[in-house]
Structures are given as C-alpha cells and as structure tokens.
Structure 1
Amino acid sequence: MQTLSPEPAPGPLTRTHYSAETVPAARRRGYWREALSRTFGAVDMAVPDEVWSGTIRTAVLGRVQAVTVESEPQFARRTRRLIACADNEDFVVVKLLSRGGARVEQDARDNAVRPGQLFVYDMARPIRLALPEPFQTKSLVLPRAVLGLDETDISRITALPLGPESAIGGILSPLLAQLVDTAEACPEPVGELIARNVIDLLTVLADEQRGADTMESPSGARVLLTRIRAFIDDHLTDPDLTPELVARAHHVSVRYLHKLFETEGITVSRLIQRRRLEECRRTLARRDAADTTIAGVAHRWGFTSASHFSRVFRAAYGQSPVDWKNSAATGWGARSRPTEPHGSPRSLVV
C-alpha cells in the first residue's frame, strides 16, 4: 500500500493502487482527497466527512494512463487559480461512467451523464464534476499533445455525453472499458495500439463537432459544399476518388460529409458517378472521338470497369455509349457536308 506525502505530486501517478479502507478512519478523508488529486491533477475536492470505501487503480500504457475509480459521492472543481499554479498537468481525461450518475460543466456546457455514457474534460480549463451517488468510472488520462487537436477542437468535445446510441459512443465506450479493465495485464505494445484507436476516435469526434459547428452557419455549409464540388471535379480522373478520400481532404468525417449532402438531394458517390458520366458523354460526342474506344474514355474518367460504365451510362441516358458515340459522329458528318453555292467546301468553325 502506497503512503501519500502531504504535498500532492504533479501529474498522474503510474501503476498505483489506493484503497481508503486500509487507512484509519481519522485519516481517510484527507488520504482520499489527495489520492484523487494525485491521479487526475490538483482539484478542490468535496468528499463526505466519513469516507468508508474507495479504490483507485492506475496503469500506464505508453504516454496514456488507465484509471478505475470506485467511490462514494464526491464533487470536484478545478479553478483558474489551480490551473495557474499547476505544474505539468496538461492533460485531457476521457471518462466512462460505469455506475452511478454524474454532472459535468465545462466550456459553457452543463450536462447530466448516465451510466454507460462517456465524456471528455480538459484539465487546462475550469471544470466542475459532480458524482452525487456511489459510482464507478473508467478513465484514460491523455497528454494533450498526443491528441493532435488544437484548443478550439478540444473545446468542441468537452462535457458532451456520448452513449451507445451514438455511432462513436457505441464504439468508444466498450473499447475504453476493455482497455482500462485489462491495462495492468495488457502487453505494452498492444495497450498502446488500443489507446491509439481511442485517440483516433476522439479525433473523429472533433471532426464531427467541427462539422456540426459549420452546419449551424448556412453560409459556412454552402462554402464547404462549393469547395467539395470543386475538389470532386478536379479529381474525377482518379479511380480512387471516394467519399472517404473527399472527407479526409476536407478534414471532416465521412458521416458529416453525408450529412452535408442531405440537402443536395444526391449522395457523394452518386455525384461522383454523375459527373464522370457527364464528362464521358461530352468526350464521346467530340469530333476527334472517332478513334477513341469506349473503354479508353471510361478509364480516362475514373471508371475501372468498362462493362459497369456501359450499364450506368445506359441507365442515365437511355442508350449505350456506342450508340451515343455513333449518333454524335453522324451529326458531325452531316454538318461537314454543306457547301458554298459555287460548290467549294464551306469552312466550319466550331
């Protein structure tokens, strides 16, 4: 059992097990407050006058720390004064509420949290966290640097409860729980890899929130749509042009990209196909297309299968690419035959 010194050590501790039951009742309250501050950073703690039980288990996964806390009710507040006095406490906490209820306040948000939901909070900004009944939480304590997110992006995801009903919450909650539960026995490379997946999902969440902020401004959404359409037109010849590539190029999630196009009456994939078909149709109708093969035109504009191209072309225009090409060629021939009154060929300017 670790003995705590009177002064809290800066930053999270590593591979530690605190248990309030092993401490004499008279010292239990002070012991528990210091254990919590050591684990998550300096906070003003309000805990019951008589702390009868509580355990904290921590384990290190590279630069990430996994923490399980079981305790009686408590209330934590991190003020600007504490932030200013803190040394080496630049952390973001991802917390899953396994049991009990909670309320979290940060960045002008004040939300209740139910069991099964997780939330994020930033130790570099003021926060209030209330856990008014016996609870269990499972947390990852991350150095801000490993997230790769700026201040604005982090502020978009703080104090937002995410549960199994959301796409990211449904993936992130069980992943975080499993990682924390197995952290002590998990081989370090495996644990670091899983932690990296959690971090990646937080980045996706920030992307979605960035998109949600943009959607609040109709002009902002319209500007982004214009950029995306221009990007698609510039990359039609790339056979790897997909919604995933488009989303990545514009720093948004695929889910948000699809949401953005809901008002357009067409999906991103359909838009890419439609624009490719339009360019193929235009190319096949040109006068110099006589020696160009259907497959060649299809491949030039990003279609990987000539047969698939022919099917979607017929579905879109009611005739095959060959028929369209031949009809266009006939039209060009008809326009090239008229002559001047003296019988000399008329020059055709196109």
Structure 2
Amino acid sequence: MLHRDTVDTTVLPPGERFGMWLDLVARTSAPLRIQSAHSADFAARADFLHLGPIQLVEYRYPSLDATRTRKLIQRSDPELYVLALTTGGVGTSSQDGRHSEIQTGEFTFYDASRPHDVCHHATEPERDQATSIITLIPHAALPLPPQRLAALYGGRMPGSEGVGALLAQFLLRINGHPEQYHAADANRLGAVGLDLATTMLGRHLVAEDAVPTEVRRRALVTQVQAYVHRHLGNPALTPQVVADAHHIALRTLHRLFEGEESTVASYIRDLRLARCRRDLTDPVLRTQPVQAIAARWGFSDKAHFSRVFRAAHGLSPQAYRESHSDPARIVNQPAPMRNAPRAN
C-alpha cells in the first residue's frame, strides 16, 4: 500500500498541541503565522502522501486564520505552489489583491513564495473541524508559464465539474483509500495528479495552449478512462459513444490511445472482463446466474460473453467460477437420503 505519514496533535497534552502544529506546518510546506480561538487545545491531524512529483496533505483542524508574510518568505522559501481543495467548512483566501470566498468542494491556488492569507472555519460549531486536501507542487514541476499563473492566485475554482471534478475525485480516492494502491504506484499516481492539476489550471487561464501537448493528452486519457469506469454497465458503451461524450472525433480518440497499452475497445472489454472475474469468484454472489453478472457489466449477449471470456481465459465463465470456488466451502443443504423407508 502507499506509505502514509500521520501527525496527530492529540498525542500531546492540550497545552502543547498548538506549538506542535506550528512546527509541523513550518516543516512540511511553508511557515505561516497562524491564529486560532482553539490554541489552548488544538486537536488536529495531518496525513501525508508522497507521490513522486507532488505531495498530498489531508488536514483536519479547528478553525484558524493563517498569513504568509514577506518576512516568513525571506526566512524560508520552498518554492511551492499550493492547490487546496476544501472538503469541509468554508473560508476566504487572498493573494496579490484577489479576494475569494471559498466553499466546500472548491479549489483555491497560491504561490507560497508570495504573501497570502487564508481563513478556514468549520460550518458546524459543535464539531468545529475544518478539512482540506492540499496538493504541494514544486515550481519546477508545473509546466505552465509562471507569469500567466498570477491571474489565478487567491482565486476559486469549482471541484464539481469538468477536470476539476475529476481532480477532486482523484484526490479524495487516493487520500481515502491508500491501501488500495501499491507503493510502486506512487510516482505514476503523482504524474496523473500533476497532469490533472496542470490541465485544470490551464483551462481556468483560458490558455489551454499553454499546457504541454503530452500533458493534455494524458489528462484526456484519464478523463476517458474515468468515463468508461462510470458507464461500464451500459451495453451500448462503444468507442463512438465515448468519443461523442468527450466532443472529439472517433479517429482522435483512437490516436489518443496510441500511447497506451490497449485500444479503446480492448480497454472497455478488458475492464468488463475484470469485473466479471471478480464477481464470479465472489462467494457472496455464488448463487447469482453467470448471465446476470455478465449483464451487470455490459455483456448483454450470453453467447458473445462466453466466447470473449473463453478466448481470454481458456475456460467458460461457469468453469472459471467452479475452478476458483473454495473446496472447503460448507453448503448448508441436507444430503439426499438414501434407502429411506417408504411411507405406508
């Protein structure tokens, strides 16, 4: 699984927790001047995931106000961009004269090498917890013109539509379930996250031409793959349907996948087969007919499913299910009675 580092202030006595948090922020991103009404008992947590070119930090903390001053920048400048997704609570942000009200589900963007202000407050006073996922991106890793990015500092970007929604889902998934990924996946996952972030920022600049061609291609591939995952059970899902959904020509979609390990059609087929394999070997679904499982994942024709499955695995779906059943499985059914006495 992905390695995650966690810092939890509640391991210390209440009077020492706020100081621990200030030290943590100074070490992991950039020093901030932080004020909070909860400084006497600052119960907070930070979870860190290192993904190659980027770092993700999920924060949970009491309401706070933070300022990055010129003096603090002179003291320490890690040369980072900060892309923040607010996952709980509301806040405000400002940088370079731009001031924004931030709601849950929205992104905001900063340059940590420039002064900025952030306020983040919980919307439920009885819990008084605000949450966010921060993506730390080194200046050198973001392939966008720095002079153009200034137009986005302190601004707000939705995380509920387009590439922003895809990026938000990616961050929530990775942070919520790091156990589902291998440590060897970290660099690749970081590259995907960086591509999505770059594409989202480029589109909000209304300057997609500023985004390198290969970054745009990889981000669009990720969008297409996410679309396929969401619609896998639709038997009408074809490369043409996928192309139409993304407002591109079919030949463009095929060119898009030339750099991948499979074509669009084979990606759809292999993903459907993988879902069928999983369900066929699931003891909970043992009593479900094979065709019901196939239909759930888009194989509406029984004969076609059997041919495709046998070609891929050398066995019929039923034989595959039986070969992967647990021989020690206990079936709670009475054995047939032999030589039972006849009723008179």
CA shift, 1:185, in A, is: 6.2
> What secondary structure is seen at the aligned counterpart in 2 of 1:119?
strand
In 1: Cα distance, 2:4 partner to 2:173 partner: 17
1:39 deviation in Å? 2.3
Alignment of 1:217-296 (within 5 A): none
What corresponds to 1:208 in structure 2? 203
| Residues 46 and 184 of structure 1, relative CA distance in 2, 3 Å threshold | farther
1:152 matched residue in structure 2: 147
Asked if 1:59 corresponds to 2:54, the answer is no
Whichever residue aligns with residue 113 of structure 2, its letter is: A
Bigger relative contact order, structure 1 or 2, given CA contacts below 8 A and separation 6+? 2
Partner of 2:28: 39
Name the residue aligned to 2:76.
86
TM-superposition CA deviations, 1:50-95 (whole Å, max 9, x none) = 22411111121123212111110111111111112215x1111221
Aligned residue number for residue 90 of structure 2 = 101
Equivalent residue in structure 2 for 1:122, among 106, 111, 119: 111
Native 8 Å contact 2:91 2:103 kept in 1 = yes
Residues 58 and 131 in structure 2, CA contact (< 8 A), matched pair in contact too: yes
- Structure 1 stretches of 5 or more lacking a match? 1-13, 215-243, 255-267, 271-350
Q: Which residue of 2 aligns with 1:72?
A: 62
Contact 1:77–1:129 under 8 Å retained in 2: yes
Following TM superposition, by how much is the alpha carbon of 1:164 offset from its aligned partner in structure 2, in angstroms?
A: 4.0
Displacement, 1:37? 2.4
Mapped partners of 1:57, 1:184: distance in 2: 14
Note if contact 1:60-1:183 (Cα within 8 Å) is conserved in structure 2: no
Larger Rg: 1
Which residue type is aligned with residue 52 of structure 2? G
For the 8 Å contact 2:52–2:191, the answer to whether it is kept is no
Picking from 159, 172, 194, the partner of 1:199 is 194
What CA RMSD, in Å, does the superposition of the two structures yield over aligned residues? 3.2
CA 1:23–1:194 in structure 2 vs 1: closer, same or farther (change >3 Å)?
same
CA distance in 2, matches of 1:172, 1:59: 16
Aligned residues: 210
Does residue 174 of structure 2 align to residue 179 of structure 1? yes
Given that residues 82 and 137 in structure 2 are in contact (C-alpha distance below 8 angstroms), is that contact kept between their aligned partners in structure 1?
Answer: yes
Q: Secondary structure at the match of 2:169?
A: helix
Partner in structure 1 of residue 288 of structure 2: none
Deviation at 1:42, TM superposition (A): 0.9
Please report the TM-score for the alignment, with normalisation by the length of structure 1: 0.53
1:296-323 Cα offsets, whole Å, 9 max, x none, are xxxxxxxxxxxxxxxxxxxxxxxxxxxx
Identity of matched residues, % = 20
Distance 1:46 1:187, change over 3 A: same
Report Cα offsets for 1:197-222 as digits up to 9, x if no partner.
2222232234324437x9xxxxxxxx
Cα distance in 2 for residues equivalent to 1:80 and 1:202: 27
Question: In structure 2, what is the equivalent of residue 168 of structure 1?
Answer: 163
CA contact (8 A) 2:92 2:119 kept: yes
- Judged with a 3 Å threshold, the aligned counterparts in structure 2 of structure 1 residues 116 and 81 are, in CA distance, closer, same or farther, namely same
